[in-house]
């Protein structure tokens, strides 16, 4: 594909104009501000969040299993007490 010298020059001039314009400064300042704000928020990555969510799911499963075991033991204890009395 052939390039058009006039379009290439226009693109170069527009790029230079944008780079020198206050818009470029505003963009850099906004990016810097946003970066600082996100750092102060102590955000976690998606990977860290997913790991914690998996760990929580495992803990919930284990807690449910332990609760079932406890209920079974309580029923056995009640049955033993009733058979003695």
pLDDT on residue 74: 97
pLDDT on residue 2: 66
How does pLDDT run along the chain (85 residues), one tens digit per residue? Answer: 567 787 788 888 888 877 777 776 777 788 888 888 878 888 888 999 999 999 999 999 999 999 999 999 999 999 999 998 6
DSSP label of 4? P
Tell me the domain boundaries of the chain.
1-43, 44-85
| 18 in Cβ contact with 24 (< 8 Å) | yes
Cβ-count burial 3-14 (b if 16+ within 10 Å, e if not)? eeeeeeeeeeee
């Amino acid at each position: 594909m052939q390039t058009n010298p006039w379009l290439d020059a226009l693109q170069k001039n527009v790029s230079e104009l944008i780079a020198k314009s206050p818009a470029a400064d505003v963009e850099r300042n906004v990016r810097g501000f946003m970066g600082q704000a996100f750092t102060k928020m102590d955000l976690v990555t998606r990977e860290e969040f997913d790991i914690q969510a998996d760990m929580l799911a495992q803990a919930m499963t284990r807690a449910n299993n332990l609760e079932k075991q406890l209920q079974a033991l309580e029923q056995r204890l009640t049955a033993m007490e009733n058979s003695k009395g």
